[in-house]
Amino acid sequence: MSFEELSHTADVRIRVKAPTLDMLFSDAFRALMETVFGNDRRDTLKKALRVESDDCESLLLDFLSETLFVCEVEGLVFSSAEIHLSGTTLTAVMTGEPFDPARHSCGTEVKGISYSGLSIVQDTNGYMADILFDV
């Protein structure tokens, strides 16, 4: 897992690096889950998700936003996701468990994912994304 929190005055800014886009999206997903729920997350259930968007940055934002929505509405916490991209369509199988307030309340509430500063760049080492979580 390759992500780091960067300094930001009010929100949580994350930088993710990975050799492939699939892995970049997977690591961004893990960064979001760790920010919101901490590290104590288990794999007891699976949830499939499909997202389509206009471009790669929008796809990342829409995927992370939809993940937050599923967590909130269905009361789930995810530990990992197997992600496959095809153009601007993402399919994911996320593994996790029901929300447990005793174990999952140690993170920071994320209200949404921001377009501000959102970028995905490719270089010789792979991909890098900067993402801002609105807290």
Residues 34, 39, 42: CA angle, nearest 5 degrees = 105
Q: How many angstroms from the chain centroid is the CA of residue 107?
A: 14
pLDDT above 90: percentage of residues in the chain:
78
pLDDT of residue 11: 81
Residue 17: Cβ within 10 Å count: 16
Contact (CB, 8 A) for 76 and 82: no
d(CA 88, CA 107): 30
Averaged over 41-46, what is the pLDDT? 92
Our count of domains for the chain comes to: 1
Span 46-72, pLDDT tens digits: 999 999 999 999 999 999 999 999 999
DSSP 75-122: TEEEEEEEEEEETTEEEEEEEEEE--HHHH-SS----EEEEEEEEEEE
Span 72-109, pLDDT tens digits: 999 999 999 999 999 999 999 999 999 999 999 888 89
- pTM of the prediction? 0.92
The answer to whether residue 5 scores a pLDDT higher than 70 is: no
In angstroms, the first-to-last Cα distance of the chain is 23
pLDDT averaged over every residue in the chain: 92
135 against 124, higher pLDDT? 124
pLDDT of residue 108: 87
CATH of the domain at 83: 3.55.10.10
89-105 in b/e form (b: 16+ CB < 10 A) is ebebebbbbeeeeeebe
pLDDT of residue 71: 96
